[in-house]
Each structure stands twice: as structure tokens, then as C-alpha cells.
Structure 1
Amino acid sequence: MQQKRLPSLSEILILTVLLLGIIFICVHSLGLPIQLAFIACWFVVMGFGKYLGYAYHHLQNGAIAGVNQGMDAILILIAVGALIGSWMAGGIVPNIIHLGLSVMDPALFLPAAFIICAITSLATGTSFGTAGTAGIAMMGIGAGFELPLALVAGVVISGAYVGDKLSPLSDTTVMAASMCQVNLIAHIKSMLYVSVPACVIACLAFLLVGLGFEHDGNTGTAQQVMAAIATHYSIGWYMLLPALVVIGLLMLRLPSFPVICFGALLGVVWAVVFEQTPLVSALDALYNGNFINTDVEFLQILLNRGGIVSMLSVILLVILALGLGGLMASVGVLTTVCNALQNWATNTGRLGLSTMLCGVLGNALGGAAYVSIMTASTITGRNYEQLGIDKRVLSRNVECGGTVTTPMIPWSDGGIFMATTLGVSTLSYLPFMWYHWLVLAIAGLYSYAGWFHYAPLPKVGEQHSAQQS
């Protein structure tokens, strides 16, 4: 029986080049769906695992474990698809867009959208829920003001991840604090040192960029969009109630999946009651999405969307990406790479950077924030103890490298969800995720400068000596 072993860094490099080559050839050269490329990658990694001495059942269990870690995201993808379809049919999202176009100043829209999404995510603790509700409405308003959609998507995602990183209602926030053995409130207070300046700078940057655009006030495309919406939908304050109910229920810390499903059901009720849509057609919007005819081309693209069916290819991609991440973890790829980073981290600067890099690798190879948080906290946590650095610094760096980088990876659950929900590819919105880039830069600066670190803890050896005495 062959002895199992961990892969070397050179073997991992060869494997990575091979996987990237398969994806590039399938997608760019042959024009095949990326899902087929990921299936091929599964078998390559399985073959690599057999070469390292691992049995097939171990590899299969690794893939299944990887998928299981992302089941929350998969369920929310299904619920958000249904919600978008019914909220389009029920007029909820069109009314939010209409209201935003009527009251917002185009020059101030970008910072306003950032703040709205940040408040929503802080109140609900979910970046996915924020993007699927307030986010798609902000995309419509931004389109009405003729702003680049990639820029608007960057603003929305930046705001959505403020709460995902900071809110006590966020599962990633709770998980990071738990994995690092840090009190939840202490963990949040530690992150404020990074998040507050990042929010302020990002908001000012969005303001300056918004002021730099030439706007035609509310007389151009915005008026055309508002007129088209008023033609197809009822307009009134009561049309916003489902959105307020969903946000309120999420604020009460109720589980995201049933709350979003309930919001989708409210969309069906609103479609039947206020839009006079036949019940069967309103229910069909849950699965097949919404459809209207309008002369405003981009509005037709924006509103003719949603439904569970629109998420099926995305769900498959998420499953395959998570399974591939599980396979990579099962053959020791993450362990080898992160051990190398751990051995390199001999001072506070390198330690902070290694924690964030482990988070990025967890997202890139594991496809989910849960994987990145576990990877970054477990692999580098021991070094913080050895260097006598408070675990609140560990938990802060784990969130910076793990949670924040998830939507930056095109094949992670966050990257796939944001690109699909907002209708903008990951590589297009990536340069405009200014909050995320600032968080990484500020956390790195603090690590190398030794700023906002807490009073040094006794090192491991010193703790042992103190206990003996």
C-alpha cells in the first residue's frame, strides 16, 4: 500500500498551472462552459491525489465536505433567485428604482449607494441579501443616471461587505471570532480600527468620482426610465413594504434562507394584488423570472431577470468550485502552502501578511469564505501565540484576508453570486471595490508598522515558565 504524503511546493505549482491551463483552453479557446472545465479539474486533482497515495473514498469525502461547507450559500442562491423574480413581477424593485431616481442627486448617488448598502448589510448581517435587494435597486438607479455599471457594482459590493465583515448578525463575523477564540464584541471593536478609515476614504473617493461625472440632472435617461416604470407598474409607498419587512426580519436575527423565501412569497402577493398578475404567472416568476416589454432597452435587461432557473448554472458552478476546493484540501495543497507561509512569518509584518494570504488562498482554492476563515485562523494562529500577539489582531487579519476577498475571486461563491446578481463580471467590478482594497492596504500597514496592536502577551515559553513558578 502506497504511503500517503503531502505535496511539495513544486508539485503544487505544476498542478496549479495545469488547472489554469484546462480552464483557459476550455473557456477561451474552445468556448465551452466553465462548468465542464471544473469537472475536468476534479479528475486531474483526483489523479494527483492517487499519485500522493490517497484512496478514492478519501478524495470523494473531501469533495463532499467542500460542497457541504457552501450549502448555506447554495440555499441563499436559490432563495435570492426566487426573490428577484417575484420582486420584479410585484413591482418592489422597480418602485425602489423609481424612488431613487426621483429623490437622489446623480452627483451624490455613488456615496449614497455605498452608505445605503453598508447600513443594510450592518442591519442584516448578509452581503448576499444586501446585494439581492438594495443592490439590484442601486444598479437600476445607477443605470438611470448613466453611470458605468461596473463602478456601481463596485460601490454596491463595497457597501454590502461592510456589514458582512462587521455586523454581529453576520455568520462570517461570528465564525471568525469563534475560530480565533475572541469575544465577538472585542473582535468587532478590533476590526473598527481598519474598517472605519476604509469606509471614510472609500466614501470620499466615491463622492469625488461621482462629482466628476457630467450629469443631465433628472431630465435625460432618468426621466425616461421613470416613465417606463410608471407605465408598467403601480407606484406608491406601499410597494416598498416587502423590502422593509425582509430587512426587519433579518435585523431580528432570523435565518436568511426562510426570510428571503418569505420575501419572495410577498412578491407574489404584491404581483397579484397590485399588478393584477394572474396567480399562476406570479408563481411562475419565482422559478422562471420576470418578463416585460419596454422600449427602454437596458431597463428591459434589468427587469427581465430573476427566478430560480437563472441561478441553476451558478449553483452548479458553486458546487463544482466548492468540491474542487475540498479535493485540494484533502490532498494537502492548502496545508503545504500555508505551512510554508507560516514558517516565513517571523515578525508582525510577515505574520499579518501571511494570515491575509492564507485567507486569499482559502477563497481561491476552497471557493468560500468559511474555508478561508478556517484556513487563515488555524494555520497562522499558532504563530501569534509564539510571537505574543493578541488574538484580536489574528481575528482582524483573518476577516481582512478571508471575508473581504471572497467576492474578488471569480470562482468563489461570493464572486459568482455578485457577478450573477448584479449582472457585471468579477473582473469588471474588481477595480472599483475600493473598500476591499483599502481594508487590505490598511491591515497590511498596521501589521508592518505595529499600529493598533494590543499589549504584548507572554510568549508560549514564557507562559509555560510562569505557570510552573
Structure 2
Amino acid sequence: MTEKNEMLPKMWQVLFVLGGFLVLAFIFISSGIGVQLALFGGWFLAFAVGKSMGMAYADMEKAAIKGIANGMNAILILLTVGALIGTWISGGIVPSFIYYGLQTIHPSIFLLATLLITSITSLTTGTSWGSAGTAGIAMMGIGAGLGMPPALTAGAVLSGAYFGDKLSPVSDSTILTATMSNVDVIDHVKAMIPVTVPAYVITSIAFTIVGFRYSDGAADLSQVETVMGSISTIFNVNLFSLIPMALIIALLVMKKPAIPVIAFGAFLGVVWGVVFQGLPATVALTTAWAQIPQDTGLEFIDNILSRGGMASMLGSLVIIIFGLGFGGLLGEIGVLKKLTRVLLDKWVTNAGTASVATIITGFFGNFFGSGMYVALILTPKIMSEKIDELGLDRRVLSRNSEFGSTLTSGMVPWSDNGVYMAGILGVSTLEYLPFMWLAFSCIIISIIYGFTNRFLYDSVMKES
């Protein structure tokens, strides 16, 4: 490593950047200005610290651009999913799924069904974004019709979506975490099972218990007929409309490239809009950019059916761009490394504290780096030396890096996942956060295992 890369900021400089950013975020969000400008303002706090350390502005600018480039795949998927949702709503695909879901799913099992459906979708496709953008948004519509609190439904969607994203051997986040931790992908998945299975059981029981609350009249069942009637009046509801969803999920399961597959799904939405909804071709195509506002007379269902289109993603896009650039700058000036080194040197002395530190580092990667991939790359790099020093298996590192990075990515309002999930599901990050029960269960169980020396695989990996 070069001398420049070894140079780290002082703690007061770290606090100046991170504390200054948090102050800006609080002021701007509470004033209704939005977090975009706070993230952009954070760039200049980082520039100031970098210059005080003798860094060249050109190098810092390149670091910000590189940070944005590292998240370009997420940016393109975000726009493509926006087009897919827009055409799938106008083409009657999502409305038909909601209609038939309201016919078949009873309120008492709805939350459990949401968890299972999104889990299967994400496990087979390996993508939480694809799961939330297809099955997830449809389940949000069904939940609205059943009178479920949107934040609670979103919690079930996210629990299922992240279950498959981190456990599927075809997930890019799973592969990246294993690679960065120098662990075989299948060994990495196996190491997560002892934590994930009990956490999933706990989550399933919790959503089932809460779901039964809505089987005794808490949900307005008369509203279901009203919603179904409104949907069938505006849209031509038919079983053929479920074909695109099944086809796109099948293509993702076959590991076809996500962006072309999702774009093809958006094209099918245009075709379905023309053929089954009688829309002019130009109007159907326009919904890929901006959705046609719907008026069913029910505000909560209008909010679902008026969603989508690339234009609806532009605000989220700016947050991701500024956030990724800010994360790149923090990496360049050494803020994250300095912060974690201070924590590691002082109190990481055993498997339990190492588990906590790894998960916290992953969360810091999302909180200050604004991107799941930033967290997944930084966490193993920062923690690997300490894990080896303690004689722990690298699978403990990969497992906790996954939990700290993937499972907390949707908890940060300005991270790529937090922005995406809030925009897709129509529920703010802080509203659905308390109901991300799978994430909390996995993190707690993993920390317990660390302090009780369970499932640490102390000697196996050293031989492989």
C-alpha cells in the first residue's frame, strides 16, 4: 500500500465529516427539503478534510465518481424496474394479481403468505429488488385491500425479499460476500443456515400471530369487495395477465441478465396494455416513463395503481448518486477505516465482540457509504485481519458481513436499498423499519452464537 493510502484522518476530522453530515440530514429532512442536498453537502465536508490532509481535489473527485460507477448497475436496475412497474400497472398485470389475491388470501394468513411468496421469489431469483418490484408491490396492493397497515405488509415483503437475497447461491450479494471473505459460496450459504432457519421460524410465527388479529374483524372485509369492484371496472382483469410475471420470474431463476429481463418485462406490459386494456400504443409506452393517474375512489388503492414509471424514480436516483459519491469520498480520505480501527483496537477480543463489530461495520458501510455493495466490499476488508488474529473461521466473517451489510441495507433512508424499497413499496424507511423482523432476528441470533461459541467452525476452514 502507498503512503497516501496509509494516511488516516484524526478523530476530530472523522467527527467533523460524519457529524456534519448527520446534522445536515436532520435539518434538511425535518424541514422537508430532502436528504439529497444533505448528501451533496457531505461531499464538501469530505473535500475540506481531504484538503486539510494534503490530498489533491482531482483524486477526491475521481473517488466520488468511482463510487458512483460502482453502483451504476443498481441505478440502471432502478430505472428499469420503474418502467416495469409503470407498464405492469397500466397493462393490468399488477391489478389482476391484486384482484385474484383478494379473492383467495384470507386476512389471517396474508402476512405469512406475503413472507412465503416473496421468500420463494427471492430465493429462486437471487434478487431482493426483483422480488420486491414484482411480487412485493402486488402484495402491497392486496394488503391495502385487506386493510393491513402498509408498514406491516412492507415488513413482511422485505423479510421475504432479503431472506432469498442473502441465502440464494445465485445472489450477487451472496457471491460477493463469499468472494471478499475468501470463502466458498456454498460453504458461506451453509454457515448462514443455522442462523437463518431459526430466525425465519421466529419471523413466520410473529407474522402469523399478528395476522390472526385481522381475522376477527380488524380488517374491513366489506372493503375487499369494493376494491375488487373498482379494479374490475377500470381494468380488464384476466388470468392471461399473470403470464408476464411468471415469465419474468422464470427468466430470473434461469440467471438471465437482470436489466434485459426486466426491460423485456416492461415491454410485455406495453403489449398487455394494448391487447388487453385497449390502450393506444403511445399511451401504453408512455407509462414506462410516467404512470397514468388512477381514480378508483379509494385513495389507498389509487396510491398503489398510480405508481411506477422511470420518472417516479428520479428523486431516488439522485439520492443514490450523491450517496454513492459520498461513500467513495469517505473511503478515499480514510474515514471509515479510521472509525472501525478505533473500535477494533479497543474492544474486539473474542468471537462475540468480533460478531458485533462485523455487523456494525456493515451497518456503517450502508449508513455512511450509502450502498450495500460498499458495505459488502469494505466489511470483509476491514475485519479479516482481526478475525484471523482471533483464530476464527472466515465463514464467521462472511456470515456476519452478510447480516451486517445485506440485512441492514434497507434500514438506511439514503442507502441504495432504503431508497429503492421505500419508493417501490410506497412506505418510508423509518415506517417499515420496526417490522423488518427477519433482519433483527438474524442479527440477534448471530451475536448470541458469537458469545456462546456456537457454530463458529473454528478449525474446519483452516484446513480447506
Aligning the two structures, in what range does the TM-score lie when normalised by the shorter sequence? Answer: over 0.9
Q: Is the 8 A contact 2:145 2:224 kept in 1?
A: yes
Q: Which residue of 1 aligns with 2:138?
A: 137
- How far is 1:350 from its partner? 1.0
Pick closer, same or farther for the CA change 1:215–1:456 going to 2, 3 Å: same
Partner SS state of residue 170, structure 2 = coil
Partner SS state of residue 290, structure 1 = coil
Q: Which residue of 1 aligns with 2:382?
A: 379
Q: Distance in 2 between matches of 1:429 and 1:458?
A: 38
User: Percent of counterpart pairs with the same letter?
Assistant: 45
Q: Which residue of 2 aligns with 1:334?
A: 336
- How far is 1:216 from its partner? 6.6
Q: Which residue of 2 aligns with 1:45?
A: 46
Pick closer, same or farther for the CA change 1:3–1:349 going to 2, 3 Å: closer
Q: Is the 8 A contact 2:147 2:219 kept in 1?
A: no
Pick closer, same or farther for the CA change 1:220–1:194 going to 2, 3 Å: same
The C-alpha deviation readout for 1:374-422, integer Å capped at 9, x for no partner, is: 1110111122222221111111111011111100111100000001110
- How far is 1:221 from its partner? 1.0
Q: Is the 8 A contact 2:87 2:287 kept in 1?
A: yes
Q: Which residue of 2 aligns with 1:125?
A: 126
Q: Is the 8 A contact 2:87 2:288 kept in 1?
A: yes
Aligned to 2:278, which of 276, 279, 282?
276
Structure 2 gap segments, 5+ residues each: none
Q: Is the 8 A contact 1:3 1:53 kept in 2?
A: no
Q: Distance in 2 between matches of 1:290 and 1:131?
A: 21
Q: Tell me the TM-score normalised to structure 2 length.
A: 0.95
Aligned to 1:359, which of 358, 362, 365?
362
Q: Which residue of 2 aligns with 1:466?
A: none
Q: Distance in 2 between matches of 1:455 and 1:129?
A: 36
Q: Is the 8 A contact 1:407 1:415 kept in 2?
A: yes
- How far is 1:88 from its partner? 0.3
Q: Distance in 2 between matches of 1:159 and 1:282?
A: 31
Q: Which moved more, 1:20-29 or 1:41-50?
A: 20-29
Q: Distance in 1 between matches of 2:458 and 2:254?
A: 36
Partner SS state of residue 420, structure 1 = helix
Q: Distance in 2 between matches of 1:301 and 1:84?
A: 13
Q: Is the 8 A contact 1:67 1:326 kept in 2?
A: yes
Structure 2: which amino acid aligns with 1:191?
Answer: M
Q: Distance in 2 between matches of 1:166 and 1:18?
A: 36
Structure 2: which amino acid aligns with 1:398?
Answer: S
Q: Distance in 2 between matches of 1:219 and 1:201?
A: 28
Partner SS state of residue 287, structure 1 = coil
Q: Which residue of 1 aligns with 2:408?
A: 405
Q: Which residue of 2 aligns with 1:290?
A: 292
Partner SS state of residue 157, structure 1 = helix
Q: Is the 8 A contact 2:16 2:45 kept in 1?
A: no
Q: Is the 8 A contact 1:89 1:267 kept in 2?
A: yes
Q: Distance in 1 between matches of 2:46 and 2:60?
A: 9
Q: Which residue of 2 aligns with 1:64?
A: 65
The C-alpha deviation readout for 1:42-73, integer Å capped at 9, x for no partner, is: 11211111112111011101101111121111
Q: Which residue of 2 aligns with 1:302?
A: 304
Q: Distance in 2 between matches of 1:322 and 1:450?
A: 36
Q: Distance in 2 between matches of 1:458 and 1:175?
A: 18
Q: Which moved more, 1:261-270 or 1:337-346?
A: 337-346
Q: Which residue of 2 aligns with 1:467?
A: none
Q: Which residue of 2 aligns with 1:240?
A: 242
The C-alpha deviation readout for 1:276-298, integer Å capped at 9, x for no partner, is: 10000000000012333322222
Q: Is the 8 A contact 2:51 2:57 kept in 1?
A: yes
- How far is 1:241 from its partner? 0.2
Q: Is the 8 A contact 1:95 1:239 kept in 2?
A: yes
Q: Which moved more, 1:345-354 or 1:433-442?
A: 345-354
Pick closer, same or farther for the CA change 1:178–1:28 going to 2, 3 Å: same
Q: Which residue of 1 aligns with 2:423?
A: 420
Q: Which residue of 2 aligns with 1:104?
A: 105
- How far is 1:3 from its partner? 8.4
Partner SS state of residue 236, structure 2 = coil
Aligned residues: 458
Q: Which residue of 1 aligns with 2:438?
A: 435
Structure 1 gap segments, 5+ residues each: 464-469
Q: Distance in 1 between matches of 2:271 and 2:166?
A: 34
Q: Which residue of 2 aligns with 1:164?
A: 165
- How far is 1:457 from its partner? 6.4
Q: Distance in 2 between matches of 1:217 and 1:299?
A: 15
Structure 2: which amino acid aligns with 1:76?
Answer: I
The C-alpha deviation readout for 1:72-92, integer Å capped at 9, x for no partner, is: 110110011000000001000
Q: What are the residue-to-residue correspondences of 1:150-161 with 2, within 5 Å?
A: 150-161=151-162
Q: Which residue of 2 aligns with 1:184?
A: 185
Partner SS state of residue 288, structure 2 = helix
Q: Distance in 2 between matches of 1:220 and 1:458?
A: 58
Q: Is the 8 A contact 2:294 2:302 kept in 1?
A: yes
- How far is 1:274 from its partner? 0.5
Q: Which residue of 2 aligns with 1:18?
A: 20
The C-alpha deviation readout for 1:326-384, integer Å capped at 9, x for no partner, is: 11111100110122233232211111111111111111111111111111101111222
Q: Which residue of 1 aligns with 2:229?
A: 227
Pick closer, same or farther for the CA change 1:39–1:458 going to 2, 3 Å: closer
